[in-house]
Structure 1
């Protein structure tokens, strides 16, 4: 018996050793089936793939020294995705090959990775049909992105069997036939621009109509389906039919008379009860308004549902308080944005908190929401507004953050300044944009798998502390915001690339940064945020471009921006950086690294060298502007 136990332990040790040693070999074997894999040149057998939560190899996602994801996006890869090799990695939970050049049919052995949770194959050149059982048994799968390919045939029925599926993107393919009978209640699915027909499953009736456009579908949220032809009624003897019809009529009339008499009595009782109820409710509202700081409706809503949860703190070192402390705190309405209302709550113990209500966060389950909130709470950077705690309800959430003393950048750019209150001067605006860049760069590193690390970067989401240090807010919420709401309100979804080909990239946040730069320098509100796509004359970038091409005048810069006498050359550099960041063509648009390098080179004052040579810098000459135009701008 003892020898058997020792043998078992020895075999287990050998198995563990083989597993640890073979992960590198498995990945290198997988790499062999890829073409144009220059981006993976640091996949080296002499270096372990993971180092704690960091990856030593490009495109890997690691946690606690364990590989749990591949993110090989936008690398120009082609060839074959070898899921046979990947199935040998037991801890793999997420794979993404979006924005590459893979073609041919979708690999038929995807379901060998049974524990996979997310599969992103969108924006490639895949074609052909997908077998109906391609996803059979993948019971942990939550997100499948196959959009923007050339896939044909029917949508695999096995997708409808995935009980945990919450996000399905199949738009811009050539799928045909009917939509499978999905039953997942929390599913967000996009079927736009295929060749589908027939009724939309009832579980998807609350989706946005645009997710079904470009097909031949019917039913909510689109037009009703045509009424089906009634089956012919078998002929019966005329006498039997007449007697049956007469009896039915007598029964119906009797029921109607009975119902009408009862309804009169009920209505009278209801009217009396309603009057008493209204009086009672009026007194209740008056009494409770004295108790709580947050608006009556908000406070009561959470009082009645205390049993559903409590405040969850996600940041260490924060003073703890209860939900009731928050509800009873002295409150001030800060505003109502695209996500929800915001309140400043001053607790009895002293600190001021900001409470924001979010009603458009029901597209993910409780487990995923908690996980993402904990991730946000773990972030720490001088240019991020600290995230403190949250309260979870399925219908809406409360997110609690620190309070920023100087309000938002938008209020300083577009609000009514107090008498004798100066506008933001050039040195302050430069420091703000540098801080914004640092905060955005941190988000890019913290969320390497998100296409939109911020997603909602605009002047009202740049807050300023007591020394005017910028703090980014409403960041990294794309994974938990309902897609329909995101498309309608979030800044990143107003980008040119979404209007052009319904795609978002890692350069989309850079476009938002570019618009923010132009807004800060010109003092003009970017009206292109009010609708998707290019806004014509209302497009801030287009307006700046038109001024550049006609002539440079002092009118391009905000008249409230003081301290510009010795900094106009640097201001002009920043203006052109902004133009390169919001380039309409994504391929020509700068990436974040290039933009931040140029921003960090800027100074508050012109140097002699800068004053004489900045106009001929190669990074600006690509805009088609001449030295004469630059010189005219500097001279005013």
Structure 2
């Protein structure tokens, strides 16, 4: 390289130094800008002793670490302010905060702010607004939220607001949480357009009129304390008149019922014609209506099997063709400790439909010889050939564990398959968690839920030990696939089916394919069932069904139950996160917190950081039946909140039992 004279080098050095200083000054000014905005915001407040770390001599953020109390940082930018329980009061300078473009979450809960609601509409990018437990008052402008289309969470509970609930809340497309309880709101509840709610509460206000039909499925506690409210889920309105829609529904129901009756009459009239024919078709009994008993004649005709056809176990003679047809209706048993029966016995049984799941219908069949069985139909099991399918069923049939519902028998046909198992009287965990309350029946207490979680963990661990070649030994773990025996011991069902389910149907319907790793990378792993276990634990703790499981295809992150739990402020867990049916478990707060941690650990989105199943089950087993908060060591709490670990957080947790709402 030729030597450059000094007169040529100096201009280049000067330019290089100039650009370096400009870029450095830009970085510093950005940091100073954020600090200046927060200090100006602090100046508008009173009683700011809790903000003593906010000083000119430092910067709010250091990468992802916060240098100032209550400031949440990401890559050097402020994305949230969490200024809670500080005794703050005075005015809230929203105009200053709008100069923080990355601000997404603002929490000023449990302070002493008074007066009307500030114009938070200036913060159009805000996703979460927490203002509960202050002294705000007055009427909220109807259009205040119109420009805040990113809002997911609005908490205004325990203030003194009056007037109507702002209509602009109806039109927030992402709103999932709305907490307005314990104010003085008046008038009717708006007809909200949102379809999915993670939390909704307007209790203890002065609301009146009929509850909109869009909110009929909410728990009645969400509307308690409004003496002039009526309609589902509260008492019916005395002035209710049947709507046009309800009249149309009644007409349709009557028409369907008459059609069903005519069909039965037609079938009975043609009975003799069909009695002389037989068929090898195994189509399961089709009940006319759910939970309706089906006669033997109807079942034979629906299955295409004539009454003159005898099973091979009951006849020693007959033509060769008859023998082949009989063989085609034989079940393959995988257990030796069950009474033998065949398809003819099932077709003669008194049958009733239990429900329609992801893959097909399930039927309860009470055999004439005594046992009651459940028959599940599968049409999406063409992933393997006959021999591979039969070998896999025999493999599943060899499994023996007190927390697995055993496969008893199966039927193979190219178009569809039947799996036969025992009938469990108490039904599924989903019914016990979500159905009993609607029926006015007692729900599961904490001791029972803990017992179920431990049993599920043991069953899963057994599956992984016995089926090591399967990537996801269960693959479809959810509350409706956990049955409960008479002692409330859990029995896992629909396990080990991934190898035989059609791939396209598995991706559309099975829980394993809703996991974060499949949503992000298109694959499942050995830890996918751990994620399913974590979601089940959170469902049992919160009493909320994971809406993500209802979505077809890849999971919807905005409806992830684990993400919702993490987003709720700790001091709100007692009122928001834990199932209100656990309100009597005051002495078990410690163990509930520990189990919540385990559930979140199992749901870790990063597979590398997620526990393996053995570690998860070990932690579950460590939770004792009697582990009240008074007996929980400080180490437990410190471990649980190690993500923050501040002294203020620790004080908040130690006082958590006093903040719980157990009404």
Aligned-pair distance for 1:551?
4.1
CA deviation map 1:310-353 (0-9, x unaligned): 10110111111121111110111111000111011111121111
CA deviation map 1:457-480 (0-9, x unaligned): 000000001111100000001111
Gaps of 5+ in 1: 1-277
Aligned with 1:572 (options 593, 600, 614): 593
Tell me the distance in 2 between the aligned counterparts of 1:415 and 1:296: 35
Aligned with 1:526 (options 546, 549, 552): 546
Aligned with 2:362 (options 342, 356, 367): 342
CA deviation map 1:210-264 (0-9, x unaligned): xxxxxxxxxxxxxxxxxxxxxxxxxxxxxxxxxxxxxxxxxxxxxxxxxxxxxxx
Asked whether the equivalents of residues 362 and 377 of structure 2 are also in contact (C-alpha less than 8 Å), the reply is yes
Partner of 2:342: 322
Partner of 2:625: 604
Tell me the distance in 2 between the aligned counterparts of 1:517 and 1:292: 45
Whether 2:476 is the aligned partner of 1:456: answer yes
Asked whether the equivalents of residues 426 and 562 of structure 1 are also in contact (C-alpha less than 8 Å), the reply is no
Asked whether the equivalents of residues 329 and 348 of structure 1 are also in contact (C-alpha less than 8 Å), the reply is yes
Partner of 1:471: 491
Aligned with 2:606 (options 585, 605, 615): 585
Tell me the distance in 2 between the aligned counterparts of 1:579 and 1:553: 17
Secondary structure of 2:475's aligned partner:
coil
Aligned-pair distance for 1:368?
0.3
CA deviation map 1:363-398 (0-9, x unaligned): 110000000010111100000001100111010011
Asked whether the equivalents of residues 340 and 358 of structure 1 are also in contact (C-alpha less than 8 Å), the reply is yes
Aligned with 1:493 (options 504, 513, 516): 513
Aligned CA distance change for structure 1 residues 604 and 524 (closer, same or farther; 3 Å):
same
Partner of 1:634: 657
TM-score, normalised to structure 1, is 0.53
Asked whether the equivalents of residues 353 and 362 of structure 2 are also in contact (C-alpha less than 8 Å), the reply is yes
TM-score, normalised to structure 2, is 0.51
Aligned with 1:372 (options 392, 396, 410): 392
Asked whether the equivalents of residues 453 and 509 of structure 1 are also in contact (C-alpha less than 8 Å), the reply is yes
Asked whether the equivalents of residues 329 and 342 of structure 2 are also in contact (C-alpha less than 8 Å), the reply is no
Secondary structure of 1:566's aligned partner:
helix
Aligned with 1:357 (options 377, 390, 411): 377
Aligned with 1:412 (options 399, 423, 432): 432
Partner of 1:390: 410
Of stretches 433-442 and 534-543 in structure 1, the one that deviates more from structure 2 is: 534-543
CA deviation map 1:430-486 (0-9, x unaligned): 000000000000000011111110000000000001111100000001111111110
Partner of 1:284: 270
Secondary structure of 1:382's aligned partner:
coil
Tell me the distance in 1 between the aligned counterparts of 2:545 and 2:429: 12
Partner of 1:484: 504
Secondary structure of 2:537's aligned partner:
helix
Of stretches 582-591 and 291-300 in structure 1, the one that deviates more from structure 2 is: 291-300
Aligned CA distance change for structure 1 residues 478 and 326 (closer, same or farther; 3 Å):
same
Aligned CA distance change for structure 1 residues 437 and 470 (closer, same or farther; 3 Å):
same
Asked whether the equivalents of residues 353 and 403 of structure 1 are also in contact (C-alpha less than 8 Å), the reply is yes
Secondary structure of 2:454's aligned partner:
helix
Secondary structure of 1:355's aligned partner:
strand
Aligned-pair distance for 1:581?
0.3
Asked whether the equivalents of residues 515 and 578 of structure 1 are also in contact (C-alpha less than 8 Å), the reply is yes
Secondary structure of 1:334's aligned partner:
strand
Aligned with 2:568 (options 530, 539, 547): 547
Tell me the distance in 1 between the aligned counterparts of 2:642 and 2:544: 25
Asked whether the equivalents of residues 335 and 343 of structure 1 are also in contact (C-alpha less than 8 Å), the reply is yes
Aligned-pair distance for 1:599?
0.5
Aligned CA distance change for structure 1 residues 279 and 462 (closer, same or farther; 3 Å):
closer
Tell me the distance in 2 between the aligned counterparts of 1:443 and 1:623: 36
Tell me the distance in 1 between the aligned counterparts of 2:477 and 2:608: 21
Partner of 2:527: 507
Partner of 2:456: 436
Of stretches 337-346 and 307-316 in structure 1, the one that deviates more from structure 2 is: 307-316
Tell me the distance in 1 between the aligned counterparts of 2:569 and 2:636: 13
Partner of 2:208: none
Partner of 2:288: none
Tell me the distance in 1 between the aligned counterparts of 2:300 and 2:543: 34
Aligned-pair distance for 1:294?
5.2
- What are the within-5 Å matches in structure 2 for residues 47-66 of structure 1? none
Aligned CA distance change for structure 1 residues 292 and 435 (closer, same or farther; 3 Å):
farther
Partner of 1:595: 616
Tell me the distance in 1 between the aligned counterparts of 2:265 and 2:637: 76
Aligned CA distance change for structure 1 residues 296 and 412 (closer, same or farther; 3 Å):
farther
Secondary structure of 1:468's aligned partner:
coil
Tell me the distance in 1 between the aligned counterparts of 2:554 and 2:478: 16
Aligned-pair distance for 1:553?
2.7
Aligned CA distance change for structure 1 residues 617 and 285 (closer, same or farther; 3 Å):
farther
Secondary structure of 1:398's aligned partner:
strand
Aligned CA distance change for structure 1 residues 310 and 493 (closer, same or farther; 3 Å):
same
Aligned-pair distance for 1:550?
6.9
Tell me the distance in 2 between the aligned counterparts of 1:296 and 1:576: 55
RMSD: 2.9
CA deviation map 1:391-448 (0-9, x unaligned): 1101001110011111000001111447662110000000000000000000000111
